A and B are shown apart, each in its own frame.
Chain A
Amino acid sequence: MGDLTLSAVTKSFGSTQVIKGVDLTVNDGEFCVFVGPSGCGKSTLLRIIAGLEDATSGTISIDGKDVTLLPPARREIAMVFQSYALYPHLTVRDNMGLALKQAGDSKGDIAQAVDRAAAMLSLEQLLDRRPSELSGGQRQRVAIGRAIVRTPKLFLFDEPLSNLDAALRVATRIEIARLHRELSATMIYVTHDQVEAMTLADRIVVLRAGQIEQVGAPMELYNNPANTFVAGFIGSPQMNFLKSELLGLRSDTMGIRPEHMAISRESGQIVGTVSHVEKLGGETLVYVNTADHGLLTVRLFGEHDFSVEESVHLTPDSQRAFHFDAGGQRLR
């Protein structure tokens, strides 16, 4: 139970259209991540699914039922917000139980549901505290717990990790992945961080300027991007884009990931000078300034010594290259 279908959903604020006709089906039990740069409409789309914004046109159905005109509380969804949005005047227990109380469940049922969710997230010790007495990570766990208590058809996450520090972000990310496995619930997750998208998603929806650019499993997007935008957005560090004609190719642009480029001091296809080196221990990133293609990134595994201003030669692995036309669409 819990698939989601969006058909021809648009949203305008005044004369600006921010969602330009989105069609999407999310299957039951799927972890779907909306990813895109800021202002691409991903959060607005999530709010439309939640019912916090009305769609200007189009329909939304959850579990086969048209919910386009239903208020948020009756859509059987739960949402986790970036700023946690815990009720400051209620204890953790009451925060988690409020939705059930509103729905008219009995005290015993509520207590049972809260205890079950608290056990899943190890929140038992915190149940009688108020949100102001919790740390950021604990608050976000409570917010996730509040969502679980409702046993919704659809979990919505609006950039839930953005306010956490790096270590906590990784820990909470793993926790969310674990919850998804345990609950096997449908989850929709909005983020601008492509690492979160790659690590959590069953399927990623890449959005740009209110439109879906590509939908697919993480490795599918990585290995088979539809256009330069997706190719550049997925994968870190970013893909290099080279001018094909200078390499004697027919396409307009050639994309090559930093890990698929060889670097040599002696010979190679492209000449450049090292402008910066980042050593991360497990890998080394070399930024090379070239006359024809601008700044290119090379990713090497292990430790390598290159000095700034050193002259180097780069050779893209043509087997792993992607070719795009002048409009940015992939040539296959």
Chain B
Amino acid sequence: MAQARSHLGRTIAAHAVLITYTLIALFPVFVIVINSMKSRKAIFAEPLALPRSDTFDLIGFTTVLQQGDFFLYFLNSLIVTVASLFFVLLFGAMAAFALSEYRFKGNTLMGLYLALGIMIPIRLGTVAILQMMVAAGLVNTLTALILVYTAQGLPLAVFILSEFMKQVSDDLKNAGRIDGLSEYRIFFTLVLPLVRPAMATVAVFSMIPIWNDLWFPLILAPSEATKTITLGSQVFIGQFVTNWNAVLAALSLAILPVLVLYLVFSRQLIRGITAGAVK
């Protein structure tokens, strides 16, 4: 009886902590979303108030959708994020498979080398990256961004995926070899489906920094045709006057696609994080 009660108490305490954290984490998002739907005056008068009938105003959204090439920015962000994710997952998984499956000289060293990028921020190399992109004629292209983000995402992907690939049964891969499957078929049809939760984990962890990044779009691809959504929203932030309605509306809209992608991956993600914990 006493045990059951303390169990309940613990559950309540744990939930209280988690709910508090959720509120703190979601509060800025909440403020952005409610203010995006208010008139300019109301934003400054009562920033924390919910939109009422007299303060409700969609001027921010109409500005965003009319001014600037918002849909293009949106599309650019989406292309960059999805393409980078695809390459991070593909090359990351392939490297991880090679590291965990094959015995070769310098295997451990190669693994460490590939994981080094987790500790060294890629922004340290910005100047060199810019020089390289200029030399390659890739400035103001989405390709430049995709290349950089792929490089940025790979270390973590290789690190996480190689741990998971080691857990895939050797017998299964060997059965495939005896049945005459090529190493590529073994990788794509036997191993990848089994590490799907880990792939989703990597996808979510890589996706958010790419979508939110302002640094590389600003430096490598600031042209009108290649602006991403985060960079595009900056047009509403002036040195002297900032169109807060538009900024908040743009940010609210920018949350949507990443939320959709997250929902797609999240079912797998939860399994990925808890995998190995219970067995």
- A residues with a Cβ closer than 8 A to B are 47, 50-52, 71-74, 77-79, 81-89, 98-99, 102-103, 146, 158
Q: Are B172 and A85 in contact (CB under 8 A)?
A: yes
In the complex, how many angstroms separate the beta carbon of A244 from the nearest chain B beta carbon? 46
Task: Using CB atoms, name the residue of chain A closest to B178.
Answer: A72
In the complex, what's the smallest C-beta–C-beta distance from A117 to chain B, in angstroms? 14
Closest 4 pairs between A and B when the two form their complex, measured CB to CB = A73-B180, A85-B171, A102-B180, A81-B171
CB proximity of B16 to chain A, nearest CB, Å: 39
From A79, A87, A88, B178 is in contact (CB under 8 Å) with A79
Quick one: given A102-B179, A102-B180, are A87 and B172 in contact (CB under 8 Å)? Answer: yes
- CB atoms of A85 and B169 under 8 A apart: yes
* Contact (Cβ within 8 A) A73 B193: no
Q: How far is the CA of A78 from the CA of B190 in the complex (A)?
A: 19
User: Given that A89-B189, A89-B193 are contacting pairs, would A73 and B174 also be in contact in the complex, using a CB cutoff of 8 Å?
Assistant: no
Q: Which chain B residues numbered 167 to 215 have a C-beta less than 8 Å away from chain A?
A: 169, 171-172, 174-181, 189-190, 193-194
13 additional A-B pairs beyond A78-B178, A99-B179, beta carbons within 8 Å, are A47-B174, A52-B178, A73-B177, A74-B180, A79-B174, A79-B178, A83-B172, A85-B175, A87-B175, A87-B190, A98-B181, A103-B180, A146-B175
Selected from B169, B172, B178, B194, the residue in CB contact (under 8 A) with A73 is: B178
Among residues of B, the one whose C-beta sits closest to the C-beta of A147 is B178
User: Which residues of the other chain, B, contact A73 by a CB distance below 8 angstroms?
Assistant: 177-181
Chain B residues with CB below 8 A from A85, complex form: 169, 171-172, 174-175
Task: Give 5 A-B contacts (CB < 8 Å), ordered by A residue.
Answer: A52-B178, A79-B175, A81-B175, A83-B171, A85-B175
Q: Which residue of A lies closest to B172 (CB)?
A: A85
Residues of B contacting A74 in the complex (Cβ-Cβ under 8 angstroms): 180
Known contacts A98-B179, A99-B179, A102-B180; A88 and B174 CB within 8 A of each other: no
B176 / chain A contacts, CB cutoff of 8 Å: 87
CB nearest to A99 among chain B residues: B179
Q: How far is the CA of A82 from the CA of B172 in the complex (A)?
A: 10
Q: How far is the CB of A74 from chain B (nearest CB, A)?
A: 8
Residues of A within 8 A of B172 (CB): 83, 85, 87
Contact yes or no, B174 A52, CB < 8 A: yes
Interface contacts (Cβ under 8 Å), in number, total: 57
Contact call A82/B190, Cβ cutoff below 8 A: no
Q: Report Cα–Cα, A283/B278, bound state, in Å.
A: 44
Interface of B is mostly: helix
User: Do A72 and B177 touch (CB < 8 A)?
Assistant: yes
Chain A residues within an 8 Å CB radius of B178? 50, 52, 72-73, 77-79, 99
Is the interface on chain B under 10, 10 to 19, 20 to 34, or 35 or more residues?
10 to 19
B175, B176, B180, B181 — most chain A CB neighbours (10 Å): B175
- B-side contacts of A158, CB under 8 Å: 171
Tell me how far the C-beta of B266 lies from the nearest C-beta in chain A, rounded to whole angstroms.
23
Which residues of the other chain, B, contact A83 by a CB distance below 8 angstroms?
169, 171-172
- Give chain A residues whose Cβ lies under 8 Å from the Cβ of B180: 73-74, 99, 102-103
Which residues of chain B have C-beta atoms less than 8 A from A50's C-beta? Answer: 174, 178
Q: Which chain A residue has the least Cβ–Cβ distance from B174?
A: A52
Interchain CB contact (< 8 A) of B194 among A77, A79, A88: A88
- Name the B residues within 8 Å of A51 (CB-CB): 177
Task: Please report the C-alpha to C-alpha distance between residue A129 and residue B171 in the assembled complex, in whole angstroms.
Answer: 21
Give bound CA distance, A8 to B256, whole Å: 66
How many Å lie between the Cα of A113 and that of B54 in the bound state? 77
- Distance to closest chain B CB from A93 (angstroms): 14
Q: Which residues of A contact B190 (CB under 8 A)?
A: 87
In the complex, the answer to whether B193 meets A71 with C-beta atoms within 8 Å is: no
Check if A82 sits within 8 Å of B179, measured CB to CB: no
A26 to B181, CA, bound (A): 28
Q: Which residues of A sit under 8 angstroms from B177, Cβ to Cβ?
A: 51-52, 71-73
Q: How far is the CA of A78 from the CA of B179 in the complex (A)?
A: 8
B181 to chain A, nearest CB (A): 6
- For A89, give the chain B residue with the smallest CB separation: B193
Most buried by A among B169, B171, B176, B178: B178
Least CB distance, B147 to chain A, in whole angstroms: 33
**Cα-based distance from A78 to B178 in the complex (angstroms):** 7
Residue of B nearest to A71 (CB): B177
Q: How far is the CB of B183 from chain A (nearest CB, A)?
A: 10
What is the CA–CA distance of A77 and B178 in the complex, to the nearest angstrom? 8
| Cα separation A86 to B171 with both chains bound (whole Å) | 9
Whole-angstrom CA separation of A81 from B177 in the bound complex:
13
Q: How far is the CB of A191 from chain B (nearest CB, A)?
A: 16
- B33 CB to nearest A CB, Å: 41
Q: Tell me the bound Cα distance from A80 to B171 in angstroms.
A: 9
Query: In the complex, are the beta carbons of B171 and A82 less than 8 A apart?
Result: yes
Task: Please report the C-alpha to C-alpha distance between residue A52 and residue B179 in the assembled complex, in whole angstroms.
Answer: 12
Residues of chain B within 8 A (CB-CB) of A52 are 174, 177-178
Cα(A79)–Cα(B66), bound, Å: 66
Cα–Cα, bound, A77→B177 (Å): 11
User: Contacts of A102 on B, CB cut-off 8 Å?
Assistant: 179-181
Contacts of B193 in A (CB 8 A): 88-89
The distance from the CB of A246 to the nearest CB of chain B, in whole angstroms, is 49
CA distance A237 to B5 in the complex (A): 54
